[in-house]
Amino acid sequence: MHMEKSPPSALLDRAIAPDSGDASAPPADARSPGALQEWELGIVFIGLYLLFERVSFIYPWASTGITPWNPQIALALGVVLMRGLRAAPALFFAMMLSELLVRVTPTAIGIVLLCTAVSAMGYTLAGLALARRLSSGGRIRSLREFGWMLGIVGVSSLLIGTFYVAANAFFGLVEWQAFAEVLIRYWIGDVVGVLGLLPFIVALADRASRRKLANLLPRWETLFQIATAVAVLFVISFFLPGGHVKYFFVLFLPLIWIAARQGLVGAAAALAFIQAGLIVLVQASDTGAATLLELQARMLALSGTGLLLGVVVDERERAQERLRQSLRLAAAGEMAAALAHEVNQPLTALVTYGRACQHMLAQGPCDQEQLTQTVGKITEQAQRVAAIVKRLRDFLRSGTMNLERMAAGEFLAAMQAAFAAEAKADGIALKLKVDAGLPRVMVDRLELEIVLRNLIANALDSIRESSPVRREISLQAQSHGRGFVCMSVIDSGPGIPPLMRERLFMPFSTSKSHGMGIGLAISRAIVTAHGGRLWSEPTAYGSFHLSLPTATGETNDSDR
């Protein structure tokens, strides 16, 4: 019998395992952020913090150094997520140097020290709170965690901003009547900076996310998405003079596209890219302070939308992966039942041959040739059992299909024999109708048996529960267009209720009082993986059909 191995079926896609220290991955060393010594990380962090502060230092309020754009806060929270309390000294010195070298706030050094200490302590506590509420490494894996991030960042920025602006107002650097306006600028600058950059920083610090980003970059779709975002920024910047803020909504299109396709990692990278592009745009243009505030308000909406969509997409993918795992385990259970049936026969033969050997040995001198033949049969049956068990192991590991050329008529006859006793006990006629000259099909016999066992078992249940006058199940095989053979299971039961038809093949959808409602979902996945189709016709009786490709794709490969 000709047999060959095919790629894994769609049903049995291997689960995307979490990063577990791949042996091929380079070991953690001094080049990874997590392996840097404290003083090295501190120097790198302070340098990046001052760089971010300088490039985003746009339109400070009066002489206070308060600006509406603060991506450096995302860097501060990121290092606290990675290092915890150990990052507090570096954060304090970075903020102090920023006040002295970049903001150049004209106030007493004591006031600067106080404001810096409060800000450093506040953002350290915010980072620690994020570390407690988010997944390992600060990753956002659910809408709940996303909500916690928004709440912690929003509240902490508001409290710190209130103290900072109040201190400036107390010493005459800000007028009290402008307190609310300045606070809004401070708050929105921090929140937008965090939303636009922190998820990307967390992604870069996580090995699995870095790997996903690296895999995304070479794709044509990703390159086209990047080119689209660049084109939108370019058009807004140079072809819509004086009114580019009005057209800012156009940036939602590439961001939503990226988030919907790439999830949170893609959305985070896109937001960081857009934020960098906007900083360059504002620095190179004559954007006014009022316009910049409006731009940042829209950036807040853009960031929230992109991250929210990315989180939803990731949650959906994880739910689908869990469903695939459940279907795979359920299919393994179905296969185990089929294997039990297959293994029972060789095990029975093993017992029979073993007892025969015992009987021959008990008779004294025995026919050595006959004993040798019997032992050979024991070995043959043991090898058959081992082959069947190996099929289950291959199935559980990767879903590999062992394809073989098989006659549809012979297969249906075997299924008829397997259910004959059960059908007879319930007074149900199990008939077989096979067209002559059908070509062979190329299938995995064990997986196809799972499908037919499920369909026949459903047909038996339907007749038992409805008790129709005519109690009959027909197994049929006929040609189904060029290159396909159709097998059908038709019963005299009441058929599928109209309300169930649309979700008939959806997992966990069932009208039975027992069972999980996954048999048809598994069956359709198996048939689809074979290149065929499984469907039900809307008739007044049970009518299921599955088409399978022939061994050669032609109709002259008949079993003669």
DSSP per-residue letters across 191-223 = HHHHHHHHHHHHHHHSHHHHHHHHHHTTSHHHH
pLDDT digits (tens, 9 = 90+) for 495-535: 787 777 777 776 655 655 555 556 777 788 788 888 899 98
Write the Ramachandran bin of 191: left for phi over 0, alpha for psi from -120 to 50, otherwise beta: alpha
Lookup: tokens for 136: 């390992």
Verify that 467 and 348 share a domain, yes or no: no
Least confident among 43-47, 334-338, 438-442: 334-338
pLDDT band, residue 42 (cuts 50/70/90): confident
pLDDT digits (tens, 9 = 90+) for 58-116: 655 555 556 667 888 899 998 898 888 888 888 999 888 888 887 766 666 777 788 88
Model pLDDT, residue 7:
43
The Cα–Cα gap between 95 and 57 comes to 14
Verify that 186 and 48 share a domain, yes or no: yes
Q: Is the dihedral of CA 394, 395, 400, 404 positive or negative?
A: positive
pLDDT digits (tens, 9 = 90+) for 177-226: 888 888 888 888 888 888 888 888 888 888 888 888 888 888 888 888 88
pLDDT band, residue 332 (cuts 50/70/90): low
Verify that 370 and 408 share a domain, yes or no: no
- Residue 301 CB partners (closer than 8 Å, separation 6+): none
Verify that 85 and 169 share a domain, yes or no: yes
Q: Determine which helix (DSSP H) or strand (DSSP E) holds 88, and give its type and residue range.
A: helix 88-97
The Cα–Cα gap between 331 and 525 comes to 10
Model pLDDT, residue 392:
60
Q: Is 80 within 8 Å of 120 (Cβ atoms)?
A: no
pLDDT digits (tens, 9 = 90+) for 218-227: 888 888 888 8
pLDDT band, residue 407 (cuts 50/70/90): very high
Verify that 545 and 431 share a domain, yes or no: yes
b/e code 190-216 from CB counts within 10 Å (16+ = b): bbbbbbbbbbbbbbbbbbbbeebbeeb
Distances from the Cα of 517 to the Cα of 8, 508, 521, 530, angstroms:
24, 4, 8, 22
Model pLDDT, residue 362:
80
Q: What is the CATH number of the domain that holds 474?
A: 3.30.565.10
* Residue 21: pLDDT over 50: no
The Cα–Cα gap between 339 and 453 comes to 12
* Residue 560: pLDDT over 60: no
The Cα–Cα gap between 183 and 160 comes to 10
Verify that 397 and 411 share a domain, yes or no: no
* Residue 368: pLDDT over 50: yes
Give the neighbor-by-neighbor strand order of the sheet with 472-479: 429-434, 472-479, 484-491, 542-549, 533-536
Model pLDDT, residue 107:
65
Residue with tokens 């019963």: 491
The Cα–Cα gap between 298 and 244 comes to 12
Distances from the Cα of 474 to the Cα of 370, 480, 512, 542, angstroms:
45, 17, 22, 10
- Total domain count for the chain? 3
- Residue at 186 is within a domain: yes
Instruction: Please state the pTM of the whole predicted model.
Output: 0.59
Q: What is the CATH number of the domain that holds 344?
A: 1.10.287
- Residue at 220 is within a domain: no
pLDDT digits (tens, 9 = 90+) for 415-441: 898 888 888 888 899 999 999 889 999
Q: Is 76 within 8 Å of 128 (Cβ atoms)?
A: no
Model pLDDT, residue 412:
93
**Residue in 81, 75, 71 with CA at minimum distance from that of residue 126:** 81
Verify that 136 and 166 share a domain, yes or no: yes
Among the candidates 383, 401, 419, a domain finishes at: 401
> In the 8-state DSSP scheme, what is residue 19?
P
- Residue at 94 is within a domain: yes
Angle, helix 38-55 to helix 72-83, in steps of 10 degrees: 160
Model pLDDT, residue 22:
41
Average of per-residue pLDDT across 461-478: 87
- Residue at 216 is within a domain: no
Give me the percent of the chain exceeding a pLDDT of 70.
Answer: 77
57-71, 240-254, 457-471: which has the highest mean pLDDT? 457-471
Radius of gyration of the chain (CA): 34
- Residue at 233 is within a domain: no
The Cα–Cα gap between 361 and 358 comes to 5
Verify that 338 and 453 share a domain, yes or no: no
Verify that 425 and 465 share a domain, yes or no: yes
- Residue 362 CB partners (closer than 8 Å, separation 6+): none
Lookup: tokens for 557: 């490969």
E strands along 407-552, which residues? 429-434, 441-444, 472-479, 484-491, 533-536, 542-549
Verify that 341 and 444 share a domain, yes or no: no
Among the candidates 194, 210, 231, a domain finishes at: 194
**Residues spanned by the domain of 499:** 403-549
Kindly report the average pLDDT of the chain as a whole number: 78
pLDDT band, residue 458 (cuts 50/70/90): confident
- Residue at 20 is within a domain: no
Verify that 368 and 416 share a domain, yes or no: no
Among the candidates 401, 433, 462, a domain finishes at: 401
Backbone φ, ψ for residue 291 (5° rounding):
-65, -40
